[in-house]
Structure 1
Amino acid sequence: MDTGSIAWAITATALVLLMTPGVAFFYGGLVKAKSVVSMMMMSFGALGLISVLWILYGFSMSAVSSPGDFAGNPFADFGLSSLATGESSNTDLLGATFGATFAIITVALISGAIADRAKFGSWMIFAGIWATLVYFPVAAWVWGGGWIMELGNTLGLPSVIDYAGGTAVHINAGAAALALALVLGKRVGFQKGITKPHNVPLVLMGAAILWFGWFGFNAGAEWLNGLANVGLIVVNTLGATAAAILGWMVVEKFKDGKATSVGAASGAVAGLVAITPACANLEPGWALLLGVVAGAVCALAIELKFKLGFDDSLDVVGIHLVGGIIGTLYLGFFAIDTGLFTGGDFGQLAVQVIAAGAVLIYSFVIALALGFAIEKSIGFRIKNEDEVAGIDTVVHGEEGYALNNA
Structure 2
Amino acid sequence: MIDNEIRCQVAIVGAGPAGLILAHMLHLQGIDTVVVERQSESHVRARIRAGVVEQTTVDLLTEIGLADRLHREALVHDGFYIRFDRTTHHLDFHRHLGRHAFVYGQTELVADLIDARRATARPLYFDADDVSLGEIDTDHPTVEFTHDGSRTRIAADFVAGCDGFHGVCRQVVDPTAIRVMDRSYPFAWLGILARTTPVTDEGMYCAHPDGLSVHSMRGPELTRQYLQVPADTDLADWSDERIWTELRRRSAADDHPELETGEIIERSLAPLRSVVTDPMQQGSLFLLGDAAHIVPPTGAKGLNLAVSDACVLSHALGTWYALADRSALDAYSATALPRIWQAQAFSWNLTTTLHRLGEGEFDWQLRRARLQRWTSSADEERALGEVYLGLPFPTSWQPELVSA
Q: TM-score if structure 2 supplies the norm length?
A: 0.24
Higher fraction of helix: 1
Query: Highest CA radius of gyration, 1 or 2?
Result: 2
Q: TM-score if structure 1 supplies the norm length?
A: 0.24
